[in-house]
Amino acid sequence: MRKHTFYFILIFLSVVTFASCSKSKINTSTNIITLVDFSKSIPPSTLDWYKEVIKNSIIANLGEKDKITVLPIDYGSQTSSSEIFISDFEKQHFRKEFDSPLQQKTIVKRRLKIYKDSIEVLFDSAFSKAKNDRVKYSLGTDIIGGFTQANKYFIPGQNNLIVTFSDMIQETEQLNLNKNLSTEKDINLLLKKIQFPNYNKLDVFIMTGEQPKIKIKKYKLLKKFWSSYFSKTNLNLIQYESGGENILVNKINSYKLDKGD
């Protein structure tokens, strides 16, 4: 009898230990830092599209412990940055002490939906305000400054994703891709002049939206430039396309699968 009891205790401890170890490896939340290009080069219709994608593809798919921060890209990306919008879902406590265990999943889902609907209204207002407030910085575009700023919002131990809405044309005194990127040979020459920030390990998703003023050749050069740029940093470029909402949603949901949801 004692022998059987001893074996039972060993098995129990093994299960508890395994469960604890497995749990410690699970990322509990996803931290999404969204960069939006408010510079003058972005068509108004494309800027409106950026806003809708943030609402319908990002906010709509956030989980109960996720976080979203929206930051600007323009001439003041780093020197005059400001939080356009921020929401930390974990602070809302969607699970209550006296919830019925049998109905909790449904209850949490309903609370999440109500909360998301409410912050989408706040986001609309914040986005409109940012469009007006950032006009004074709209004559240039510091994309690298935007990434540097986004890096400050990195949260260790979480899934960290930067979603960038921009034409990806850096226009500063130090680096002007509009004037100085004409051929593939320019890419390495320009990269040699760049001082690379010490980024944390973050995933990066880029959505340019429609850019009718950018020719296909220029678009491809920009994509190659930024692919080369990211390859020299800790930033992991997942996608660089004009659209790709479904791919973005799948990526956000893949983090939930990693969490075991």
Average pLDDT, stretch 128-146? 97
Q: Which domains does the chain have, with CATH numbers?
A: 33-258 (3.40.50)
Predicted confidence at residue 92, as pLDDT, reads: 86
**DSSP letters along 122-137, please?**
HHHHHHHHHHHHTGGG
Chain position carrying tokens 């003023």: 213
Predicted confidence at residue 258, as pLDDT, reads: 57
pLDDT in tens, 189-217: 999 999 999 999 999 999 999 999 999 99
Q: By percentage, how much of the chain surpasses pLDDT 70?
A: 86
List the one residue out of 168, 249, 174, 251 whose CA is nearest residue 214. Answer: 168
Q: Is 71 in contact with 150 (CB distance < 8 Å)?
A: yes
Give the span between the Cα atoms of 1 and 4, in whole angstroms. 5
Predicted confidence at residue 77, as pLDDT, reads: 97
Predicted confidence at residue 228, as pLDDT, reads: 98
Point out which residues pair with 86 in neighbouring strands. 69
Pick from 58-62, 105-109, 149-153: least confident? 105-109
Give the span between the Cα atoms of 141 and 98, in whole angstroms. 51
Give the global pTM: 0.87
Average pLDDT, stretch 106-119? 88
Compute, in degrees rounded to 10, the torsion defined by CA atoms 234, 232, 50, 64: -10
Name the amino acid, one letter, at 243: G
pLDDT in tens, 211-245: 999 999 999 999 999 999 999 999 999 999 999 99
